[in-house]
Amino acid sequence: MSIRVCLAGATGWAGSALARAIAEAEDIALVAAVGRTQAGRTLGDVLGEPRLGAPIYATAAEALAAQPCDVFFEYTKPDVAKANILAALGQGAHVVVGTSGLSDADYAAIASAAEQQGRAVLAVGNFALTVVMLQKFAEMAAKYIPQWEIIDYAYDGKRDAPSGTVRELAARLGKVRDSELTVPLENTQGVAETRGARMSGSQVHALRLPSYTISTEIIFGMPDQRLSIRHDSGSSAEPYVDGALLAIRKVGTLSGLRRGLDTVLDLG
């Protein structure tokens, strides 16, 4: 039996690429889509893909009420994502989150709701395999190198800062240890804000400039040596598709809140 999916943000940059991939999948069926500006149409008409007959609804609540689904895929914006996720859990669906910008407090509330409903939420800051590798390598390095800083690069129109990728990376490193600061922030001379924001024990700097899509760099430093690990995204959404499909197939085997695609990968 196919996994029934409701895709919120189905007409967006990443959502449309995922929708087209679902059309090719034999074990996944897209039963509903959420897209405010295209509500009332079918997704196939909007994307030019006749195999996608799912109706588009203006809100997640409308889609969930009209079309039962096994997995709700959240690919919209941070100002509506939390409400969408909680609504999906309330309807008995598992949830995959690809939207960035949700806070740790948001995820605490989501985790509680998932436990109460007996459902799973798989939150992935970035579905690209190279990002998964960056996260794992950074966790390994943090065990041995006590000082690092994270740089978050994105296009000038991206409103959330830092990106979901960087939030997830900082949270992971915080479970290893807090980064050490030779000069405590409160002892900084000049403008302390130029040292970045302290997030989960890491210093984070966010750049928003034209020519970037999404890039993440973490720099580790020791006396007379330095290690840089960096991921760069291109202009296509294709690198995220395989990871997103994997998340859809795996989320139903989980329980509670999981963060990171590596939680469903065998990385040893």
Single-letter amino acid code for the residue at 59: T
Q: Which of 111, 108, 127 is nearest to 119 (CA)?
A: 111
Predicted local distance difference test score (pLDDT) of residue 260: 87
CATH fold of 3-127+237-264, please?
Rossmann fold (3.40.50)
- Segment 65-78, tens digit of pLDDT: 999 999 999 999 98
Alpha helices in 143-213 (DSSP H): 164-176
Report the DSSP beta bridge partners of residue 221: 226
Predicted local distance difference test score (pLDDT) of residue 246: 95
Predicted local distance difference test score (pLDDT) of residue 101: 82
Confidence class for position 234, pLDDT limits 50, 70, 90: confident
The residue that leads in pLDDT, 262 or 59, is 59
The domain locations on the chain are 3-127+237-264, 129-232
Cα 148 versus chain centre, distance = 23
Strands in 94-187 per DSSP E: 94-97, 120-123, 148-154
- Given this chain, do its domains 3-127+237-264 and 129-232 carry the same CATH topology? no
Burial of 154 (0-12, 13-18, 19+ CB in 10 A): buried
With 80 as the cut, is the pLDDT of residue 162 above it?
A: yes
- Residues 34-56 have a mean pLDDT of 95
What is the CATH number assigned to the segment(s) 129-232? Answer: 3.30.360.10
> Which range scores top for mean pLDDT: 123-127, 234-238, 247-251?
247-251
**Mapping DSSP to helix (H, G, I), strand (E, B) and coil, where does residue 104 land?**
helix
DSSP 32-46: EEE-GGGTTSBHHHH
Predicted local distance difference test score (pLDDT) of residue 100: 84
Confidence class for position 268, pLDDT limits 50, 70, 90: low
With 90 as the cut, is the pLDDT of residue 50 above it?
A: yes
- Residues 215-220 have a mean pLDDT of 97
